[in-house]
């Protein structure tokens, strides 16, 4: 059971990373990811990019539910909550 939750957590983190990269490619005004991230931090929309990146977790969550992999879906949900907490910490302490 713990292994299934850990797999779901890893899928959630990886999906968030891919979503974040995808958001950078769409909304960034440069081909250099470092420049886009630096610009996002200075202009204050870095947390918005993180939130958009976490949207891919929604798809992973429902795929796991459809396949009756409830523990993996729980892991995706946990990773989404962790990303939420990290986003809030960055938002309010920056």
Domain that holds residue 53: 2-93
Query: In terms of Cα–Cα distance, which of 12, 13, 21, 79 is closest to 52?
Result: 21
**pTM for this structure?**
0.87
Half-sphere exposure of 29 (CA within 13 A, CB side): 4
Q: List per-residue pLDDT tens for the chain, 94 residues long.
A: 899 999 999 999 999 999 999 989 888 877 788 888 888 888 888 888 888 989 999 999 999 999 999 999 999 999 999 999 999 998 888 7
What total number of domains does the chain contain?
1
- The whole-number pLDDT of residue 56 equals 92
| Per-residue model confidence (pLDDT) at position 8 | 96
Round to whole Å and give the CA distance between 44 and 31. Answer: 19
Confidence (pLDDT) at 36: 87
């Amino acid at each position: 059971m713990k292994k299934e939750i850990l797999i779901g957590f890893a899928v959630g983190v990886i999906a968030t990373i891919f979503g974040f990269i995808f958001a950078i490619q769409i909304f960034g005004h440069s081909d250099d990811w470092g420049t886009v991230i630096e610009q996002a931090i200075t202009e204050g929309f870095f947390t918005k990019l993180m939130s958009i990146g976490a949207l891919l977790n929604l798809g992973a969550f429902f795929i796991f539910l459809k396949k009756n992999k409830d523990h993996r879906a729980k892991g995706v949900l946990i990773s989404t909550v962790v990303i939420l907490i990290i986003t809030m910490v960055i938002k309010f302490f920056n």
